[in-house]
Structure 1
């Protein structure tokens, strides 16, 4: 006798679950279809609601569309990532603003003194910026998939060089590059194994 299917305990319907997670893949090749500003703004409108500590929202996104902007980036990208970055419809440079505390009076008005707490602690601000921006990057990947697009996040690049080239103000730390577009062809590899629940979760 075939066992009955496990009931789906998630509120999100299975088609949406598949779009965001099960069927979604990291893309390394893209079609020529452009990703326009309206799509990016719709993604941001969705993912900006994801939580960050003190509602700090330190992620800053620089979109590279033009050939000239792409040419400025490519010398800092590792050889293995250069071709797919050159061919993607849109490349996002994802950075953490280490002076995020300046916006706290507006985004976290419950504690007006919060800005002063961090003003004299640049190391602490940077740690918070990196951690919370990384959270926001996770939300962004899901948001890109929600728009029917694919994301190709990459860490193979010279972060210090990209900061000098695009963020000379010194207040940004580049964390990741992300190619965005509609995927072309089949994924390069089969989906790699994920850890099982028992390997990840403990209950006390």
Structure 2
């Protein structure tokens, strides 16, 4: 009996929303992002795969004006307004002691023991997997009809000190404003390379 395979490809409209027409925004419309929307973003992004389900990312969703102003103090001049005027700006950090959570996150085996005594190894794993989760965050936000403005132009040490002071095992890595993007604040899309430029099939 021949197996039947179904084409589960997303519609072109969905691909445009997630990738083809999606942009990184520099300015925002005056439209709120609710706590419910924030929770929906997280409930989607947490389903993305991480190594041994380590879920190493730690997020601070700066929604109040005080929190956004505090974060903007540590940003480059060009990024301050992008933070202050966004409905929400999320700090994507990582937990260098993520392995402490593995007994319940990955109960199939003693994964915690793989990382004990290896701080440098944990940092490497935490940074890689939290970066993945940050990418899932952007796709989740776009899937829910929101726009993103990812940024790395911040003093990460000061962001860590200010927002993770009570959790010394956490480190800030980058930030991303989320809201409804103002199309007047973006320029023409920069070039994207063809497949053959940076790829090969071995």
- 2:192 equivalent to 1:194: yes
Paired with 1:18 and 1:180, the residues of 2 have a C-alpha distance of 18
Candidates 18, 31, 42, aligned match of 2:40? 42
Structure 1 residues 132-179: Cα deviation after superposition (integer angstroms, max 9, x where no partner): 001111111111110111010000000000001111122111111111
Question: Which residues of 2 match residues 114-153 of structure 1 at below 5 A?
Answer: 114-153=111-150
**What count of residue pairs does the alignment treat as equivalent?**
195
Quote the residue 1:165 is aligned against: 162
Paired with 2:45 and 2:186, the residues of 1 have a C-alpha distance of 28
User: Aligned-pair RMSD on alpha carbons?
Assistant: 1.3
Question: Which residues of 2 match residues 3-18 of structure 1 at below 5 A?
Answer: 11-18=9-16
Cα shift at 1:188: 2.2
SS at match of 1:76: coil
Preserved contact between residue 52 and residue 132 of structure 1 (Cα < 8 Å): yes
Quote the residue 1:180 is aligned against: 178
TM-score by length of 1: 0.91
Which consecutive segments of 4 or more residues in structure 1 shift more than 3 A? none
- 2:58 equivalent to 1:60: yes
Paired with 2:169 and 2:177, the residues of 1 have a C-alpha distance of 23
| Uncovered stretches (5+) of structure 1, i.e. residues with no partner | 1-8
Preserved contact between residue 25 and residue 187 of structure 1 (Cα < 8 Å): no
Cα shift at 1:202: 1.1
SS at match of 1:124: helix
TM-score by length of 2: 0.92
Cα shift at 1:187: 4.6
